Amino acid sequence: MRRRAAVYGCSAAIFLADRLTKVWVDASISAFDVWEVIPGFFNIIHSENRGMAFSLLAEASLWLRTVVLIGLSCLMMGAVALMLWKTAGTPAKLTEAALVLVLGGAAGNVYDRVMRGSVTDFLDFQIAGYHWATFNVADAAITCGAILMLLEALSESWRKKAAV
């Protein structure tokens, strides 16, 4: 039981880190103001995203955004929380870490959507002339969690092939 409390506590810490950074951005940076941190590579910009990744559904009706972005996100969070409950304390540490990241990040973005109708994005990177979509701590946690899940699935596949 202690292990489960620890993993859910880690998800809560990711949620808190996301909330604190978004509150700071909201209080410190005007909308669409750009703070150049590393010229040509990294900026902090205050933007609001009513849609999902890459602003998909940003122009959809409020009803559709509510059902899809909040409703489905809540269902997925429930599924992730259940999977985390089942894996907490098992040998599947990579899966556990992935689920912790996804749950904490999803909670951060769902909170914004429920409370404000949009998500605050502020991390803005450019690499070799390519400008990546602005994102936040929650998005980074979800992405890292998804990558860890993919690595776990691939490593399992590789282990099975090596055993044959």
| More confident position, 141 or 132 | 141
pLDDT at 97: 94
3-class secondary structure, 62? helix
Q: What is the mean predicted confidence (pLDDT) over 51-67?
A: 65
Predicted model pTM: 0.86
The H-or-E segment that residue 120 falls in is strand 119-127
- What residues are annotated to the active site? 121, 139
3-class secondary structure, 104? helix
Task: Tell me what the pLDDT averaged over the chain comes to.
Answer: 88
Query: Is pLDDT of 55 > 70?
Result: no
Tokens 């209080």 found at? 27
Query: Is pLDDT of 159 > 80?
Result: no
Residue boundaries of the structural domains of the chain = 2-163
pLDDT at 164: 62
Q: What is the mean predicted confidence (pLDDT) over 12-25?
A: 98
Report in angstroms the alpha-carbon separations of 6 from 66, 74, 79: 31, 22, 19
pLDDT at 72: 84
